[in-house]
């Protein structure tokens, strides 16, 4: 099955803000789109009002986008299946979908996170479920707030796959005059960049909540990039990936953007609220909260020093006061900025 430049039958699995925005984009690009949500309230809202008022309010969706709570109905016969569930649920959702997905279907993952129980990236989760379709898998990542994509604001992302053909197909399907798609063969780097930037964004929010200014933010982003790069390279990624859209691009956006859920959670933590209270107020998922524990475990597994991740883990999992965490970062032993390593 080859997609070429023609319209395709696309199934979007996950109707959060990002999944809804991508469904809107695919329809705008001329493709036939079916959208699945596990939440019947979301399905009902879209059918009755023409918008996803729960996760992406204010954006009218075409009635031609078919929305359903029946997973088999959505993915059956699709030529492209886009996985956009929260990272901790991707495995179980796609296992349910697998019997209804045809061999040769292009599988695109747009979820950013690490599965906490197994420490697997999203591409590894999908490869285990679809072992014969690895060359039909693509990761879509980069600096992209859902609301701005839905508005049609110029956005640049990257499609990563081990298969040259698959990443070109994804590029053709998603690209538009407002959504530019670059390609990259470094799946590991794109996955790690997209997942770990959320943890650094939590830390950026903590600093903002504590009242620190732009000096602190700039330093945190720069040293956060160094940490992400060290881990990514240790896992087999290419250093250059972290200086592209899925690395520094997504990191800057998520650490500084007003629409960043992870930054918002960090800001409230820095302001003295507990993580339990913050999460109880949220309908959407802040991926960095769970990814912090996964990143901490990966740093230990690969023997990589990640002091910002370590302190965010201590704040989230051990109840460490945020100001104490920042002080420990500042009082670490002095060292050269660069020692020739990532």
Neighbours of 303 (CB within 10 A): 7
Structure tokens at 253: 């956006």
Angle (deg, nearest 10), helices 187-209 and 261-270: 30
Residue 140 forms beta bridges with which residues?
Answer: 159
Using CA atoms, how far apart are residues 183 and 138, in angstroms rounded to an integer? 10
Give the containing element (helix H, strand E) for 160: strand 155-160
Give the containing element (helix H, strand E) for 12: strand 9-13
The C-alpha angle with vertex 40 and arms to 39 and 46, in degrees rounded to 5, equals 100
Using CA atoms, how far apart are residues 327 and 120, in angstroms rounded to an integer? 32
197 is catalytic: yes
68: which DSSP letter?
E
The C-alpha angle with vertex 228 and arms to 314 and 93, in degrees rounded to 5, equals 80
Structure tokens at 155: 């956005």
Q: Residue 331 in contact with residue 337, Cβ under 8 Å?
A: no
Angle (deg, nearest 10), helices 288-301 and 307-318: 130
Using CA atoms, how far apart are residues 34 and 78, in angstroms rounded to an integer? 9
Sign of the C-alpha dihedral, residues 61, 62, 68, 72?
Answer: negative
Catalytic site residue from 112, 197, 283, 341: 197
Using CA atoms, how far apart are residues 224 and 263, in angstroms rounded to an integer? 14
32: which DSSP letter?
E
Catalytic residues: 197
């Amino acid at each position: 099955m080859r997609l070429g430049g023609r319209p395709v039958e696309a199934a979007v699995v996950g109707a959060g803000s990002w999944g809804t925005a991508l469904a809107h984009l695919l329809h705008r690009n001329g493709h036939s789109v079916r959208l699945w949500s596990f939440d019947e309230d979301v399905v009902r809202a879209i059918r009755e009002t023409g918008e996803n008022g729960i996760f992406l309010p204010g954006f009218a969706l075409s009635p031609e986008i078919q929305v359903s709570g029946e997973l088999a109905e959505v993915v059956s016969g699709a030529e492209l299946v886009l996985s956009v569930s929260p990272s901790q649920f991707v495995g179980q959702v796609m296992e349910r979908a697998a019997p209804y997905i045809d061999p040769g279907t292009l599988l695109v993952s747009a979820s950013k996170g690490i599965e906490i129980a197994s420490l697997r990236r999203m591409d590894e989760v999908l490869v285990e479920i679809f072992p014969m379709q690895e060359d039909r898998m693509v990761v879509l990542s980069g600096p992209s707030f859902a609301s701005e994509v839905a508005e049609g604001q110029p956005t640049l992302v990257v499609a990563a796959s081990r298969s040259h053909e698959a990443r070109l197909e994804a590029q053709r399907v998603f690209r538009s005059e407002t959504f530019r798609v670059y390609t990259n063969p470094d799946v590991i780097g794109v996955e790690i960049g997209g997942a770990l930037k959320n943890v650094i964004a939590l830390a950026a929010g903590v600093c903002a909540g504590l009242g620190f200014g732009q000096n602190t933010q700039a330093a945190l982003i720069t040293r956060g990039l160094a940490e992400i790069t060290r881990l990514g390279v240790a896992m087999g990624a290419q250093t250059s990936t972290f200086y592209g859209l899925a690395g520094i691009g997504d990191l800057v956006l998520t650490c500084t953007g007003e629409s960043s859920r992870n930054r918002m959670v960090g800001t409230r933590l820095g302001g003295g609220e507990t993580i339990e209270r913050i999460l109880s107020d949220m309908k959407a998922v802040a991926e960095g909260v769970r990814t912090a524990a996964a990143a901490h475990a990966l740093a230990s597994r690969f023997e990589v020093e990640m002091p910002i991740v370590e302190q965010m883990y201590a704040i989230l999992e051990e109840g460490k006061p945020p100001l104490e965490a920042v002080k420990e970062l500042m009082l670490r032993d002095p060292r050269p900025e660069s020692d020739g390593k990532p």
